[in-house]
Each structure stands twice: as C-alpha cells, then as structure tokens.
Structure 1
Amino acid sequence: MNLTNRQRSLKCPTRLGTDEAGYVINQTSIKYIQPEFETILFKSIELVKEAFDEQLYSIYLYGSIGRGTAVAGESDLDLTVLVHEDIDATELVEQTEQLLTEHPEVIKIDYDIGRLDVALNPANRFEWGFWLRHLCTCVYGEDVSTQFPLMKPDARVSEALNQDLVSSIEAAKSKLLHGQISHLEKRSIVKRVIRGWYLTINVKDESFATTVEACLAILKLYFPEDPRVEEGKTLLKQDDITNQQLLDYLNEMLLNFV
C-alpha cells in the first residue's frame, strides 16, 4: 500500500511501523539497498576503515538508503560508526568531501560516531539500544544490535531521540540570522522539527513512523486544525525556503518543546 492510500485509511491509533505485537519494525536491511547507492556505500565504508583503523568496531546504515527508498541526487547517506575510543574524525570528513564530488548520487554523508562501551551501557538502552536494534542495519564488523531486546514505542525512546532538538533549532536560527544556511540545511531542519513534533505523540499513537510524510499524516490526525502541519508540508515542497519563512516556522515549532 503506498503512502497516499495508507493516509486515507489511517485511524487513531495508527500503529504505523509496528508489528501485531506492538514492537517497532526495523525497516532497514542490506537487501533493500538500491544498486545506484552500492558504490558510494562501499567507498564510504572503506574511508571509515582507513581513517579509524584499529579503533573501528562496526558500521551501521540507517535512513532512506537503508530502507530502499532513497532518491538519487536528493538523499543522504547515513552511517552510524562504533569505535573503541574517542577519535578525531577530521581526516574522515575531509576525505568524504572529496568523495562527494565524485558521487553526486548522494547530497551528503552523515556519520554518527559513538564509543562501543557507551552504546552497550544498559543506561543507554533507550537511546543507543533502540537506535541500533530498530533503525539500523550492520554493514561492517560485529553486529551488536541483537544484544538489545525488541522495543515498543516508549516515551523514554522519544525523549532520547529529541534530546538535542531544541539546540538544533537554536543553531539553525542563529545561522538564519547571520545568513549562513543552505537550502539543504533548511529542508533538513524542517524535517527534523516535524519528526520531533511527531515524537511527542507517537507513544499515544502506538506507532513509529520513519518518513517525514508519515509523520505529517499522523500529526494531521491528532492536530487537524493546527496550521503548522500544512505549513510544514508547504515548506518541504518549495524549491527555495526564505530565511524569514523558516525563522517564523522554527519559532512557532519551538512552542512544542520549551
């Protein structure tokens, strides 16, 4: 069922993205990777291996490429990297910029880098545990995701995923005020705040949506009269979001999180 038909039939709670028992479905897999992204993924893995060497433990893919829904020339390549010790990623970032000039099929490569001991700490099971078990697929090294139990939508998970949301909004506002933000960054922060808003109601909805379109569809069910839902849709459809439009939207959305 495509998203349009699914949206027409959604009812509260939608339970979108969960199985019959209520557990969140991991929608990423190496078997979903589209052929046009295989080369850039392989080269990115090699860059990480060379840059981190013996400090590297494992690499995980997440996001649209991991779900098989990426669009060439529009999507990011998203990788989570586990290392043994804190490490300087300067060399990796520099080499990645060169790689991107050779591979326009992705617009950027994001690395979420964390220490193995931190990821495996039971205190972080609602952050790292959920992230690795339900949002990632291992593409190199030993897969530690299976060490974590299956989880249902949980307020502690939503809070962990939203923990840096306000600081991200404030950072984007600062860039806007100084005129130092690209169109891609604008779209990225709009998507981020929409997902963040959705995560304030996903436990009530017994769901875990992975796309911004699904988040918007669910938000529309719970906030049918809130203009910020349609404003978010409109901004994401625009070829060029003005600084003032985005600043106004971010200020409106901040009301949900402070």
Structure 2
Amino acid sequence: MWTPPPPKGLDADGCLAREGSLARVQTRFRPVVAAARDRLPEVFGARLHSAYLYGSIPRGTARVGRSDLDLLVALREEPGDADRADARALGQALDGEFPEIDGVGTLLYSRARLLSELETHDLGWFVACLSTRLVGEDLARLLPRYRPDSLLARETNGDLALLLPRWRERIAGTEDSDVARRPLVRFMSRHLVRTGFTLVMPRWGGWTSDLAEMAAIFGAYYPTRAERMRAAAALGHEPTGDRAVLRAYVDDLGPWLAEEYARVHGVKAPRPD
C-alpha cells in the first residue's frame, strides 16, 4: 500500500499556512492581476471592503490559456443583484482582454458574513488560508489560526449530501453534448477530490491544493476508492463531457463519500438559503 508523504502546508506551530502570495504570480499573469486590482475599486467604489485572489494564479501553478482568474470580493454590505451584475461585467471584460486566462470567477460576500461565527471554519478559513489579499484591509488579521482538524473538515465539505440533488438537477438540465457537459465534469471532479481529501485531512495532518496529491493522499486511507479518485483528479484538469462520468459521481462516488463523511466528521452546520 502506498504511504502518504509527511504532512505539509503548516507553519512552525502546526497551523495551516497561507498557501498563495502575489510574489508567486507568474510573469504572464501579472498584467491581468494588476488590471483586476485597479478595476475592482472603480467597479465597486465605497461598497468595496477588500478583494482577494485564490486558486492556481496566486499559488504560481496556473497554465497559460487554461487557468481562470479566481476572485473573492468582500463588500461592506450584503451583495445585491447590481453587485453580481457588476462582477460579471468585470469578469467578462478581463476574460476578453487577457488571453492568458480562461474565464473569471468572482465570489461576492459581505464583510460581516466572512467574519461571522457560522462561517469561521468555512468562508473565514478560505479567506485566511486559501486567499491572497489584492485590495483593501486583509480580513485574515481578524480571523483565527486554523489546524487541519475534524471541525475544519466538517464545516468546509460536510454538506455533500445536500449538494447531490442539486447536481442531479444540473446534469438533467444541461444540453446533451460533450461540450456542454465538460464544465460540469470539471467542477464536480474537483469538488469530489477536495471532499475526499478533507475527509482524510485530519488523519494526514496537513494541507495541499494539488488535485493529484489530494487524490493520492485520500487513496492511502481508502485504497478501494483510490483509482476512482485519481481518475476524478485527472478529469479536474482535463475534463471530458462523458455523461457516464457524471452519473457515476451522483450515483456512486458522491453518495458513498457523503455517507462516509457524515460518519467520520458529522454534517456541516446549516446555512441560510
């Protein structure tokens, strides 16, 4: 049986270290990052509290023409329809101007929600450990330090059972073509791999955002599911539009993972709709 590597992603005190930084942004992606930094205050004005990068670009692992630009925006008030429309327009403009990226995804939340007790071990952790400050005051200074424990596992990915019915609806409502299904395969593959990894994260004792590493570490603890998780990690990078893959996710791997997650860590605290 394969033995997982020693835990990594921790600071000297055994807490999760922030994984990205502006210094890691590759040269080809610096112009689009600079454009986002300059335009976010113009778009949101006084409503903007702070903005962050996350994903492969601040980790320094982005692929030219393949990776998207991932942004998280903290507003001073709860975001509304106008804010979401502004975020979409900004993303479309950046995507059209910079061929180095393949799309822009923007998460919008209020400062109050990001700092709320309910979100401390989900969105708060996401800001503090997986996001890199781009504009404004860094909310990470107001958040606790995190360890790779069962509480963090439960509150980050302990809601898979709730998501699976929505995934089935999305599959049923998607156009019957490989091209239309490919984004779903990519999204669900990544989500399942990350959920599988956080299932075993407390036992391993560290953090990684690399899909292949996540799948491999999961497989060390669940060898009978290792091959399927490795396949999901590969599809997270190079998705196909195979309907059978999606069906296997929502009929087999997903339900098993949701049940095992609840058994080991419990179920995520309910959130408002």
What is the TM-score normalised by the length of structure 1? 0.86
- Cα pair distance change 1:110/1:163, threshold 3 Å: farther
- Cα pair distance change 1:76/1:234, threshold 3 Å: closer
- State the Cα distance separating 1:164 from its structure 2 match: 5.0
2:247 maps to 1:247: yes
- Trace 1:82-101 onto structure 2 (pairs within 5 A): 82-87=74-79, 88-101=83-96
Cross-structure match for 1:30:
22
Cross-structure match for 2:267:
none
| Residue range with higher mean Cα deviation, 192-201 or 223-232 | 223-232
2:152 maps to 1:157: yes
Cross-structure match for 1:256:
257
- State the Cα distance separating 1:239 from its structure 2 match: 5.6
Query: What is the distance in 1 between the residues matched to 2:230 and 2:123?
Result: 32
Map Cα deviations across residues 119-148 of structure 1 (whole Å, 9 max, x no partner): 223443212332222111111111121222
What is the TM-score normalised by the length of structure 2? 0.81
Contact kept? 1:72, 1:105, Cα under 8 Å: yes
Contact kept? 2:181, 2:243, Cα under 8 Å: no
Cross-structure match for 1:3:
none
Query: What is the distance in 2 between the residues matched to 1:89 and 1:15?
Result: 38
Cross-structure match for 1:171:
166
- State the Cα distance separating 1:236 from its structure 2 match: 4.4
2:4 maps to 1:10: yes
Structure 1: stretches of 5+ with no match in the other structure = 1-7
Cross-structure match for 2:211:
212
In structure 2, the residue corresponding to 1:201 is in which secondary structure? helix
Residue identity in the other structure for 2:42: E
- Trace 1:105-254 onto structure 2 (pairs within 5 A): 105-163=100-158, 165-180=160-175, 181-226=180-225, 227-233=227-233, 235-236=235-236, 240-254=240-254
Residue identity in the other structure for 1:53: G
- State the Cα distance separating 1:75 from its structure 2 match: 1.1
- Cα pair distance change 1:231/1:144, threshold 3 Å: closer
Query: What is the distance in 2 between the residues matched to 1:139 and 1:44?
Result: 9
- State the Cα distance separating 1:111 from its structure 2 match: 1.3
- Cα pair distance change 1:110/1:207, threshold 3 Å: same
Query: What is the distance in 2 between the residues matched to 1:128 and 1:245?
Result: 29
- Cα pair distance change 1:25/1:178, threshold 3 Å: same
Query: What is the distance in 2 between the residues matched to 1:246 and 1:153?
Result: 30
- State the Cα distance separating 1:243 from its structure 2 match: 1.2
**Number of aligned residue pairs:** 249
- State the Cα distance separating 1:237 from its structure 2 match: 6.6
- Cα pair distance change 1:237/1:139, threshold 3 Å: closer
- State the Cα distance separating 1:167 from its structure 2 match: 4.7
Q: CA RMSD in A?
A: 2.3
Query: What is the distance in 1 between the residues matched to 2:87 and 2:110?
Result: 17
Query: What is the distance in 2 between the residues matched to 1:237 and 1:134?
Result: 22
Query: What is the distance in 2 between the residues matched to 1:233 and 1:178?
Result: 24
Structure 2: stretches of 5+ with no match in the other structure = 260-273
- Cα pair distance change 1:157/1:221, threshold 3 Å: same
Residue identity in the other structure for 1:104: P
- State the Cα distance separating 1:162 from its structure 2 match: 1.4
In structure 1, the residue corresponding to 2:224 is in which secondary structure? coil
Contact kept? 1:235, 1:241, Cα under 8 Å: no
